[in-house]
Structure 1
Amino acid sequence: MGATVTVLGASGKTGRAVAAAARARGLTVRGTTRDPGRLLADGARAVEPVAVDLATGEGLVEAFTGADAAYLVVPNVHPDEVGIVRRALRAADEAGVARLVYHSVADPDDRRMAHHLRKGEAEELLRAARPGTVVLRPAAYQQNLLPAVLAGRVEVPYRLDAPFSLVDLGDVAEVAADALTGRLPDGSTHVLGGPEELTILEVAETASRVLERPVEAAATTAEAWRAGPGAALPPSALSDLLAMFAAYDESGFTVDPAPLARLLGRPPTTWADLLTKETR
């Protein structure tokens, strides 16, 4: 078995994918989680679960001790992104972790979205303290839309013709594993976008063709989304997501697809590729 890496939030969507990709490279993986039993229940028995409270930093030093590298990913739209990264940095220094990789977002300087700005601030913190930190900046995941599409209807609170560079989470995780093994240059930053620009209408049209059954695309209002799916969210997450939807409505979310293809050394996964794989 190769080097040991610690993946924050290994029971979350991104953490699970990164942990699996790291395991596929022969790395020993520790995964932090608030509930180790949940991580085991997810089928990640090849990942050593470590109980960590990201809100306080409790358990981080233990999780990082003996690790050669750490992947820092914070729960989506978390209001204390910078605080969590600061505590993780402090613990990584104390534990002697040599390599850090930070999961940021494409366009971290977009002032329309507070959660993007928090990631930008966390990047600055890491660069100042650890200039060798590798930063990954993914676009929105294809997988975010997959459950709704497979159910036959994708409804979004922004215009259906807004363009997106949807990226496959598996491709992102493959690049993350490269970063954890030191294959990416120290201090480098990488924008990770999918190989095609798709609107929600095109997402549904492609799905209808690949799945050979109707998939509907529908637009709802921000007010209806707030009263429906957003009703149970904490105020900070609700505010962040509504701001994100407004930005999407204005300009979509697209990035240059070339960097991901260069990093993978192969064509990145298309939306049709993912649908085909998921329905085999």
Structure 2
Amino acid sequence: MILITGATGTVGSHLVRQLTARGEAVRALSRKPGEGLVRADFDDPASLAAAVAGVRAVFLLTAPVTPTPAHDLAMLEAARSAGVTAVVKLSAIGTGQTFEGRTVGAWHQEAERAVKASGLAWTVLRPSSFASNVLRLPRPMPNTTGTAAQGVVDPGDVAAVAAEVLTSPGHAGRTYTLTGPELLSVPEQAAIMESVLGTPVPTADVPLDAAREQMLRSGAPPAAVDAAVTGMAWARAGHNAVVTGDVPRLLGRPATDFATWVRASPLNSANRISG
């Protein structure tokens, strides 16, 4: 049995489908009840204990509103107590790097340390910026990273790597950095979307101070805003201009390029973009 946390999210939902298609026994975890889901809450130890009962491996994906490793720590404790033998932690690219006196992905870094000290066979996945991030953006697309390019990755590829790591040997003690096959800035992503969709996709540069104010006005916790702006500043300075070979090496095929993702995405089938 493999427990998938974050099972209704972008990567988790892909992973549940992919593991099920492989014939693996999967337990999908969610805070909300639903068909095929096991309800549990990271702040409720009893629910976590029930969720990990009989589980061999855990896919650990947490997304707290305020950045904290507490949810990872709670799941690791439950997993150890239940005799789980392996954990695959979804982290983020750049975790632990320092930039202008700040640590990128500081809460992920703490969680990674706990995973490595857990006594379980561990693997850490550090994906780059998700292609699917554009689905949540208003129009014009806000651009907080200027002309800086990133190795934009298909979340389906991230899930495919997770499925491979969870079901095959040789990955314990490894950290994989997952990127797409090309470096793209936000304006370059928009240009590809325009070409594929046949409709204008305008962008608007957003200074980091303005992005910070917008997030604070929307009610985002200050700690979450600080973490987000740190990541944006790090990427805007060009530090996420990284393409690795981990996805093709692990999957035995090329990483999915952004144009291919757009053609298969809800953007194309629903034609949701307006100028």
**TM-score exceeds 0.5:** yes
CA RMSD of aligned residues (A): 2.0
Name the counterpart of 2:60. Answer: 72
Name the SS of the counterpart of 1:272 in structure 2. Answer: helix
Name the counterpart of 2:42. Answer: 54
Q: Tell whether the 8 Å contact from 2:104 to 2:234 is kept in structure 1 after alignment.
A: no
- Identify the match of residue 27 of structure 2 among 14, 25, 30: 30
Name the counterpart of 1:185. Answer: 171
What is the aligned residue count?
A: 264
- Identify the match of residue 258 of structure 1 among 230, 242, 245: 245
Counterpart check, 1:204 vs 2:190: yes
Counterpart check, 1:97 vs 2:84: yes
1:63-121: CA deviation from partner (whole Å, max 9, x where unpaired): 0111121101110674222x222221111111111221111112212123646122222
1:140-197: CA deviation from partner (whole Å, max 9, x where unpaired): 111012343xx653112231x1110000000000011111213442222211111000
Name the counterpart of 1:158. Answer: 145
- Return the letter of the residue paired with 2:50: E
Q: Tell whether the 8 Å contact from 2:105 to 2:231 is kept in structure 1 after alignment.
A: no
Shift of 1:131: 5.7
| Partner Cα distance (1:205, 1:226) in 2 | 26
Name the counterpart of 1:109. Answer: 96
- Return the letter of the residue paired with 1:86: L
Q: Tell whether the 8 Å contact from 1:79 to 1:115 is kept in structure 2 after alignment.
A: no
Moved over 4 A (4+): none
Counterpart check, 1:120 vs 2:109: yes
Give the TM-score normalised by the residue count of structure 2. Answer: 0.88
Q: Tell whether the 8 Å contact from 1:78 to 1:115 is kept in structure 2 after alignment.
A: no
Q: Tell whether the 8 Å contact from 1:141 to 1:168 is kept in structure 2 after alignment.
A: yes
Q: Tell whether the 8 Å contact from 1:68 to 1:97 is kept in structure 2 after alignment.
A: yes
Name the counterpart of 2:212. Answer: 226
- Identify the match of residue 215 of structure 1 among 201, 223, 226: 201
1:121-152: CA deviation from partner (whole Å, max 9, x where unpaired): 2222222222621111111111012343xx65
Percent identity between the two aligned chains: 30
Change (3 A) 1:106 1:141: same
Name the counterpart of 2:234. Answer: 247
Which consecutive unaligned segments of at least 5 residues does structure 2 have? 270-275
Name the SS of the counterpart of 2:11 in structure 1. Answer: helix
- Return the letter of the residue paired with 2:92: V
Name the counterpart of 1:135. Answer: 124
Name the SS of the counterpart of 1:218 in structure 2. Answer: strand
Q: Tell whether the 8 Å contact from 2:112 to 2:124 is kept in structure 1 after alignment.
A: yes
Name the SS of the counterpart of 2:98 in structure 1. Answer: coil
Counterpart check, 1:16 vs 2:13: yes
Shift of 1:270: 0.6
Which consecutive unaligned segments of at least 5 residues does structure 1 have? none
| Partner Cα distance (2:64, 2:103) in 1 | 12
Point out the more displaced range, 58-67 or 245-254: 245-254
Q: Tell whether the 8 Å contact from 1:8 to 1:15 is kept in structure 2 after alignment.
A: yes
| Partner Cα distance (2:32, 2:14) in 1 | 18
| Partner Cα distance (1:214, 1:143) in 2 | 18
Give the TM-score normalised by the residue count of structure 1. Answer: 0.86
Q: Tell whether the 8 Å contact from 1:111 to 1:117 is kept in structure 2 after alignment.
A: no
- Identify the match of residue 260 of structure 2 among 261, 270, 273: 273
